[in-house]
Structure formats: structure tokens, C-alpha cells
Structure 1
Amino acid sequence: MRKVFQRGWRPLLVLILLLTIWQLSCWLFDIPKWLLPAPSDIWTEGIAGWATYSNHLVSTIKLSFIGLLIGSGVGLIVAISLHRIPKLREALYPLIILSQNIPIIVLAPLLVIWFGFGLLPKIIVITMVCFFPITIAALDGFRQTTAELTHYMKMAGASKKQIFWKVEWPYALPSLFSGLKIAATYSVMGAVISEWLGAKEGIGVFMTLASSSFRTDRVFVAIFLIMILSLFFFAVISSLEKLIVKGKPKGEENN
């Protein structure tokens, strides 16, 4: 707990300073609430409007979680397949890179045309933004396996399957969790974007309605909810990493 406080007090202090400057600027320059609400106005709306956006928040959490699970599964399957089959990696790796150059905001309307307004296009959007960091991180982790251990396992008569699960997979776990933490934050962003496709509820829908009615305070409430939800997902993955990844390779312990 002491380590967490020692590491976290500086960012917290900077955040408090920024919010204070923001609050004072709104008061001193008499900025209209519809243009830029003060943090106190956002806080008041966040508390008073809980009944208004609570259902939207729950919907976004469910969508983000489902999309993250599916995206993580797809990313892992792709990474393992490309690692175990080098020729497949040579053929598909460039295409995976190119897939990330397609703007999701442009692809989203096409997904609605192809698959309708149901859950499927939303899951596809989240999967597309989540699988890439997991795939790349896992592949990098597999390649970081020390050649000495692999050679030793081969000398001991281990099969490729045994080498993968006994050596390569454990070595890839730290890199894999790095990809998962990135994907966890991306999943919330992907969920919000997918909700703009025509969902009935969700933080994306709440933000759109607030923006169209010039309720800027509610727009900022939605922004802060997205940030908090992303940090929550990140914290959950970090906690799982501490439970699963028990040790670090030599040379990383002092980092």
C-alpha cells in the first residue's frame, strides 16, 4: 500500500492542480456553462444524474467486457497460429498490420450495412481494436524465449508442443499482459464508437444525446466515466498479472 502511495501521489497532485486551474479559470473568466463547465458543475451533474446514465454505464461495461474477451481470444489464437506456423506468419503478418490502418470510424457504418444494428457489428468493432495489441505482444513474447532453454528442451527430447507450453508460453506472459492492458483500455473506446452505430443505450448514446442538446456538463460526465472505466479495466488486468506472473527474468527485477 505504501508503494502505491509513493508512486501515485505525484500524478494525483498534478491532477488536482489541473482541476484547480480549470475551476479558477471558469470562475475568473466567467466562462458559460454550455461552453466549458467547471469541474464542480461536472461533479454536481455526475451525482445528480446517476439515475439518467446508470443504465448506459452498465450497458457499456457489458459490451466492453464481452468485446475484450472475444478480442483477447482472437488475438491469442492468431498469435499462436502465426508463431507455430512460420509460413502462415509470413503470409498474414503484413495484412494484420494493414488492418490497423483502416479507420474504425469509417468502417463502422459499413458494418451496420452488412450486419444490421444488432450486437454483431459492435463486437466486430471492439474485436478489431483489441486483437492487434494482444497478437503483436504475444508474438514478441514468444520470440523473447532464450535460445539456451529451447536448445536444452530439444536435447532432453521435448516435442514442439512441450517446448511451447513449458518454455515459450511462460516467457511470453509478461509481454502478453502488456498487450492485454492496452487492449483493456481500447475495449472501452471501441465500445463507445460501436454505440454510435445506432445502439439504444450506452455511454456513447448518452454522450451523443448530451452533445445534441448542448448539455456540455453531461458530455464531460461521459468523458470522465470512459476514463474511469478504462482505468478500472487496466487495474483488473494489472492485478491478474501480479497473480499469474510470479517472477521476472533476471535483469528486470530492478526495473
Structure 2
Amino acid sequence: MKQWREYRAAFILILIMLCAWELAARLAELPFIFPSPTGMLIRLWELREVLLFDHLPATLSTIMIGLAISIVLGAGLAVLMNVSSTVERAFYPILISSQTIPIIALAPIFVLWFGYSIWSKVVVTVLITFFPITVNTFDGLRSGNKALRELLLTMGANKREIFMKLSVPSALPYFFSGLKVAVTMSVIGAAIGEWLGAQAGLGYFSRRMMTQFDGAGVFAPIVLLSAVGIVLFLIVVWLEKRLLKWRSKE
């Protein structure tokens, strides 16, 4: 009941928007270009076997591989930038500049390089998810309490002990904040890659339905993509609460 009270306003707003959309779609009577929410759900049910067993696994593979690479490289680079100011000065401007390049313009180039294999989509996903993980983790590593650091030094702690006992616990909340952004963006990255060049995946299927002027069919995989993003976000929130129980006690 407590959670319901917290999210009641959001739920009511979403319900109102869906009802307005449903009404507008029924009045317009243009299901091929303006499908109703109920029409999308019906189409999603009709396509459930194709979407769930043929295309969803391909999209999930892209998302999981891309996120894994971003976590390893992003956290690793954040640690290196925290340890070495030279590495920070060399890579931080590149990180910022990478976000000014439109990914949708680079995706066709990756298709040329890697073909229609999974790796062209994985690279797009990594480029989108790498930045929030790296920057948030780096900020977290630098957020350690200076008084605690000085206390550990006076007690004879070495750099490794300070890193493990102060820097890592300080960085974990920031890391999870970046990861929550990254998991939602990973769905967008995978969909963009599949939309521009793929042989399977929810983004590919949505584009295929567009060529058939099937409005509900275009939105059906998008609804599934949205559900995937929400589920991944909730998993990260659950992991954060499990691993950072000490935050709730502060």
C-alpha cells in the first residue's frame, strides 16, 4: 500500500494519457498510421511467438554483451583516471566529445565494418552506455571523505587499503546511478543498431512492419522493448538495495 501511494499519481497520469490516446485513435480511424493502445496489445499477442522466440533473444544478447563490455571498460577507465591525472587529462575530453557525435550517424558505418553480425549492434550499445557508467563511477571514486582518508593514512593504511575501504564504497552508489541510466539507454542502442542493419531483433522487426504499413505491428515490438528496459532498470534497483543495505541505515 505504501508503494501504491508513492506512485499513485504517476499511474493515474499514465492511465489518463492511454485513455486519451485510445479515444483519439478510435476517432481518427487510421489504424495503419495511428494505432490505438488496445490495437497494439492485440497485435503484440498475435505476434507473441515470433517476437518472444525469434527476435527478443537477439535483442537481449546485444543488450547484455554491450552492457558487460561497458561495465568492464567503463569502471576500469574510471579507476585509471582516478589513479592517474595524466590518464584523466587524456581520456576525459574524449569521453565528453564522444557524446557530441550522433550515434545514429555512426551506426551505418559499423554495419559496413562488422556487417549484419551482432557486433555492429553491440558497438552502438557500448557507445551509448559507456559514458554514464564511466563518468558516474569516476565522480564516485573522487567523492571519498577527505577526513576519513586522512584518518586511514594516520592509522597506517596503504593505497590499496584506502581504495578498497573508502574509494570503492563511496563509488558504488554513483556506479549504480550510472548503471540505471545505462540499462535504459542500452535498449535504445540495441534498437538503433537493429533498425539500421540487422537480420533479427525487435528493432529490425519494427522496421519490417513499417514497410508493410502495419502501424500496430510497428508499435508491438516497441512496447516489448519498453518492457525490457523497465525490467532491467528494476533489476538494477533490486541489486542496489541488496548490495548497498548500509545506505538505508544512514
Same fold? TM cut 0.5: yes
Aligned pairs for 1:183-194 within 5 A:
183-194=182-193
**Structure 1, unpaired ranges of 5+:** none
2:233 is aligned to: 234
Structure 1 ranges of 4+ moved more than 3 A:
none
Q: Distance in 2 between matches of 1:165 and 1:40?
A: 52
Q: Distance in 2 between matches of 1:107 and 1:173?
A: 32
Q: Distance in 1 between matches of 2:200 and 2:2?
A: 40
Q: Distance in 2 between matches of 1:249 and 1:130?
A: 27
- The number of residue pairs the alignment matches comes to 249
Deviation at residue 13 of structure 1 after TM alignment:
1.1
User: For each residue in 1:128-183, what CA deviation from the matched residue of structure 2 results, as whole angstroms up to 9, or x when unmatched?
Assistant: 11110001101111121110011011111111111111101001111110000000
**Structure 2, unpaired ranges of 5+:** none
1:243 is aligned to: 242
Q: Distance in 2 between matches of 1:193 and 1:228?
A: 17
Q: Which moved more, 1:172-181 or 1:5-14?
A: 5-14
Alpha-carbon contact 1:117-1:197 (below 8 Å) kept = no
Going by fraction, where is helix more abundant, 1 or 2?
2
Alpha-carbon contact 1:64-1:126 (below 8 Å) kept = yes
Q: How has the CA–CA distance of structure 1 residues 21 and 199 changed in structure 2, closer, same or farther, with 3 Å as cutoff?
A: same
Percent same amino acid at aligned positions?
Answer: 34
Which of 29, 35, 40 aligns to 2:33? It is 35
Answering whether residue 73 of structure 2 is matched by residue 74 of structure 1, we say yes
Q: Which moved more, 1:111-120 or 1:184-193?
A: 111-120
1:116 is aligned to: 115
Alpha-carbon contact 2:116-2:199 (below 8 Å) kept = no
3-state DSSP of counterpart to 2:35: coil
Q: Distance in 2 between matches of 1:5 and 1:179?
A: 26
Deviation at residue 249 of structure 1 after TM alignment:
8.7
1:132 is aligned to: 131
User: For each residue in 1:206-244, what CA deviation from the matched residue of structure 2 results, as whole angstroms up to 9, or x when unmatched?
Assistant: 111011111010111122111111111100000000000
Deviation at residue 108 of structure 1 after TM alignment:
1.2
2:43 is aligned to: 45
Output the TM-score relative to the length of structure 1. Answer: 0.93
Alpha-carbon contact 1:83-1:139 (below 8 Å) kept = yes
Aligned pairs for 1:197-216 within 5 A:
197-216=196-215
1:20 is aligned to: 19
Deviation at residue 16 of structure 1 after TM alignment:
1.0
